[in-house]
Structure 1
Amino acid sequence: MAGSHRTSVEIDPDRDAGAHLDDIDPDAVPDRRLALMFVCAHPAINPAVHTPLMLNTVLGCTAEQIGRAFAIPPKTLAARLVRAKRRIKDARIPFRIPDREVLPARMPAVLEAVYGAHAIDWHSGGTEVRGSLTTEALYLAQTLVDVAPDDAEALGLAALICLSNARLPARFDVTGALVPLPQQDVGLWDDALIARGIALLRRAHPLGALGRFQLEAAMQAVHVARRDTGTTDWHTLRDLHRTLDAVAPSLGGAVAFAVVTAEIDGPAAGLELLDRMADETRHFQPAWSARAHLLGRLGRREDAEDAFDRAISLTTDPAERAHLATRRGAAVKPPPRRS
């Protein structure tokens, strides 16, 4: 019977919970970190803090890193984590490794945490540990597929990380400078990871349970198809973004939709969409970066300069800051005088 061995101890945030996993049933959750992540999704813990708790206590991510990945002020997130850990301790919530039959209910939070680990590393390209956490996220995502081979979103997440990681060798040049996706050398992309990601996405499709990670993986598949076609199918990308907005709306998705729209209908159309969400995105770095780029394309140099300055002020990663500064210089450079 699944889950024939169970471990039940009190969660103590001040000691290494991993030491209490010796009796875990490897057939239920074969990786200790994943087992601990499922524990963090205990129903007595506030669902809003499940994923941050996993990232912080299991994968060692800081409140600042998690906050940036999920667009939550780090101080706000740190306070939530402190309250959650205090509640776990005061309420003596049992530290129980879940049986296989309860894993599906906890799976969404675990998937979100694995995705968060990937996103944190993806957006910290200027650090010396580049790629380590997203490689770990790929391993965890693939292990989740082993745990739940018929979970469409587990397959979608593994596909998404495969297809994203396939582009890692081309994301930075030899000097460490960030290379935007449209300018990446497709010859440097990892063919094996692309093939694996496409195969995972194809496994998910017949299951008929469309979700966010499958849609994001499909978007990555459109991007990596440029390796074979030489072009990007922006219309398909826009259709996918529309569906994503219906399934799992987010600020990041709305900004990306504006960028894709600009590629099809021109920068003014994309900027109009960004203007509609100006209040919600006033502290959202991707929105300012996109706005600056579109203003530059429209020749509105002073407005572009202000937007780039705002984007840079909201960026902590050195490589991305340098990239934005380079783009700023190109966007605000006056046109050459006619002789």
Structure 2
Amino acid sequence: MRPHEVVDAVARRSYGKLVAFLAADTRDVAAAEDAVSEAFAAALAHWPVHGCPANPEAWLMTVARRKSIDGMRHRRSGEAVTTQLQMLVENQTSESAEAIHDAEIPDKRLALLFACAHPAIDAGIRAPLMLQAVLGLDAKTIASAFLTSPEAMGKRLGRAKQKIRAAGIPFAIPARDELADRLDGVLDAIYAAFAEGWSDPGGTDVARRDLTDEALFLARLLVALLPQEPEALGMLALMLHADARRRARRSASGDYVPLAEQDVLLWNVAMIEEAEALLRYASTLGRIGRYQLEAALQSAHVERRRTGRTDWTVEVQLYDALLALSGSPVVALNRAVAIAEWKGPAAALEIVNALAADGRLAQYQPYWAARAALLARTHAYRDARDAYDVAIGLERDPDVRRFLQGKQAVVVDRLI
């Protein structure tokens, strides 16, 4: 593997791990991100000339620490910088140094996730902050996941990092009685990372290539930490159900295959069984929540594998409960799609038309794709063609774009 390929691989695998490890010492997420980024830039310059080190993570961590110390000296003065420098030096001469030089860097991402979910941080920015600090996503990608503009998201992330530094928020797993205030944000961040990676099933986008695996790893860590927390169990079940369909999402020639047309024999049975067991156990713990309901919806799809049919009545009931909990326009849209199968496209189109007033869906590709499909089914072909235009323009995945273009071509044929 060539040096730049090693740097790329380590960046995808270890960026968040390195930021979390360094930020735990400095209590400064932004500075840790800067130092790690500078370390990767140094690797791109150094490794092609001198060769890749035996332990790339350790090399990067050592350089990042030096960059962090240099940054502190340039940015600050007086007692504050002296205290932080002392913290770094003490950690370098204790177990941290041993971890860097003799073994793998300890994975402190779960601690950083909980630090970013501290009550002092605004609830609405906790999950986006975790996605950037722990998984390295940029503001544009995060903004897309949370239906907002990149500029607004960038400003909010900057303010949140300043709050962490100013408040001296500790980077540690909170005590049991503090978990309730932080768990929802941690769950939302891990699932948002999974969903972002899930939107790139072909693995063509470097920034998202390993996100599903990273999110599953973090979800398992969380379940190990909180084995009696039903929503953590529900989230892992939801992710396993979705990941079980990975092989079926593309045809042998690489074409996109929607859920309703997937070959269920390609679904991963072991993952499905694990997800079902998690969901059953979560249901015994007496507290229902969003992730358990979403996992139950995925479980309903599994019935098609067993029986060859889908009970849309059950799906709509589950969406009703989920919508009552979340009030999410995305949930409302998915509920409308299920109603189209249960009561027909006209009933669903009424709901979708009403959702047009929610500005958060204006740049949401699935909204326009669903709207186009429903319009086509009600023979409003001209409007369907126009809705497909918007959906195609918003879609990032070329395979999905071709799928939508094929659907649009059928609609255009009906107009001729």
Q: Same fold (TM over 0.5)?
A: yes
Whole-angstrom CA distance in 1 between matches of 2:403 and 2:108: 38
Aligned partner of 1:94 in structure 2 is 169
After TM superposition, the structure 1 = structure 2 runs for residues 185-200 of structure 1, keeping only pairs within 5 Å, are 185-200=263-278
1:126 to partner: Cα distance: 5.0
Tell me the number of residue pairs that the alignment of Structure 1 and Structure 2 aligns: 323
After TM superposition, the structure 1 = structure 2 runs for residues 1-339 of structure 1, keeping only pairs within 5 Å, are 9-16=26-33, 31-89=107-165, 91-101=166-176, 102-129=178-205, 132-280=210-358, 281-334=361-414
Whole-angstrom CA distance in 2 between matches of 1:296 and 1:176: 26
- Write the letter of the residue equivalent to 1:109: G
Whole-angstrom CA distance in 2 between matches of 1:221 and 1:331: 33
283-292 vs 30-39, which moves further: 30-39
Instruction: Indicate conservation of the 8 Å contact 1:11/1:92, yes or no.
Output: no
Instruction: Indicate conservation of the 8 Å contact 2:112/2:171, yes or no.
Output: no
- Write the letter of the residue equivalent to 1:98: I
1:174-212, Cα deviation, whole Å (9 max, x unpaired): 232211001101111000000000000001001111000
Aligned partner of 1:3 in structure 2 is none
1:298 to partner: Cα distance: 1.6
1:95 to partner: Cα distance: 3.5
Q: Which runs of 4+ in 1 moved over 4 A?
A: 16-23
Gaps of 5+ in 1: 1-6, 24-29
1:70 to partner: Cα distance: 1.9
Whole-angstrom CA distance in 2 between matches of 1:138 and 1:171: 19
Instruction: Indicate conservation of the 8 Å contact 1:11/1:95, yes or no.
Output: no
Aligned partner of 2:54 in structure 1 is none
- Write the letter of the residue equivalent to 1:283: Q
Instruction: Indicate conservation of the 8 Å contact 2:29/2:133, yes or no.
Output: no
Whole-angstrom CA distance in 2 between matches of 1:261 and 1:153: 26
Whole-angstrom CA distance in 1 between matches of 2:140 and 2:26: 29
- Write the letter of the residue equivalent to 1:297: R
1:56-90, Cα deviation, whole Å (9 max, x unpaired): 0111112222222222222221221122223334x
Whole-angstrom CA distance in 2 between matches of 1:302 and 1:126: 32
- Write the letter of the residue equivalent to 2:383: D
1:92/1:211 Cα in 2 relative to 1: closer, same or farther (>3 Å)? closer
Query: TM-score, normalized by length of structure 1?
Result: 0.89
- Write the letter of the residue equivalent to 2:289: G
Instruction: Indicate conservation of the 8 Å contact 1:11/1:94, yes or no.
Output: no
1:93-114, Cα deviation, whole Å (9 max, x unpaired): 3333134423332111110001
Percent identical pairs in the alignment equals 42
The structure with the largest helix share of the pair is: 2
- Write the letter of the residue equivalent to 2:337: V
Instruction: Indicate conservation of the 8 Å contact 1:44/1:93, yes or no.
Output: no
1:131 to partner: Cα distance: 5.9
Instruction: Indicate conservation of the 8 Å contact 1:168/1:189, yes or no.
Output: yes
1:92 to partner: Cα distance: 4.8
Whole-angstrom CA distance in 2 between matches of 1:249 and 1:188: 34
187-196 vs 282-291, which moves further: 282-291
1:9 to partner: Cα distance: 4.3
293-302 vs 198-207, which moves further: 293-302
> What RMSD in Å do the two structures reach over aligned CA positions?
2.2
Aligned partner of 2:103 in structure 1 is none
Instruction: Indicate conservation of the 8 Å contact 2:110/2:173, yes or no.
Output: no
